Amino acid sequence: MGGLPETATSWRLITDPPRAGVWNMALDEALLEAVRAGQSPPTLRFYGWSPACLSLGAFQPVQAVDAAACRELGIDLVRRPTGGGAVLHDQEVTYSVVLPPAVAGRRPRETYLRISLALLRGLDRLGVRAGFAPAGSHRKSAGPSCFARASDFEVLVDGRKVVGSAQVWRSGSLLQHGAVLLEADRALWARLMGQSDAADGLVGLRELVPGIVPERVVAELAAGFAAEFGVRLVPGHWTRAELELAERLGREKYGCGEWTRRI
């Protein structure tokens, strides 16, 4: 698909072990800041969550979810730097893509579509026949769950979301991350979201490809990004500066109740 710049021939690929939600969000923001400052290359990151975590959108009221139930069940609560609705992160693969202005382009909708096409390529390699919500569809719900709504170009399988994504832009640089569900405890989603049908609009990959393992999901999604953007993915590591910034963000922002409960 044309329209976006093709200036980066290689991206860094980071595959992380599962981490607590505080550190996952701190690392994503640190990565955005490093790319924005020109200190790090375009980066595709994959990761998991341990323990399970409920994430809020940057502008979502904490009262929209059952924070007391999270405490009771030992489920972390974190606020993302990106917008959108709440997501229960447990059995999933999370992707994060961070692009500088020269690669991200200037049209958020077009960039979102391009990333959706990369995800579709990866899912197709897994044998999952997905499509995306057509422009103007805007399936909405009054509930807090990200998966209860479908915006333009979100990835669907038979009308149900298998990926929930969100963006934030800073000085022309993009962070987009999203949950690719493997399994979903629908009763738990309903309890934490306070809505009996909170999980009705989602589907996990293991319902479509029984026994699929995270490592294969990561490999095929990475291949989808490489093919769609025409880049070579080079396995890499965090820089010292990125890790130091993430540690500070985790301590002073994402691990702080003032940020999590600011709305």
146 carries an active-site annotation = yes
Q: Are 58 and 82 in contact (CB under 8 A)?
A: yes
Reading the block at residue 224, the tokens are 């989808």
Four-residue CA torsion sign, 197, 164, 171, 237: positive
Catalytic residue among 53, 70, 146, 256: 146
Catalytic residues: 146
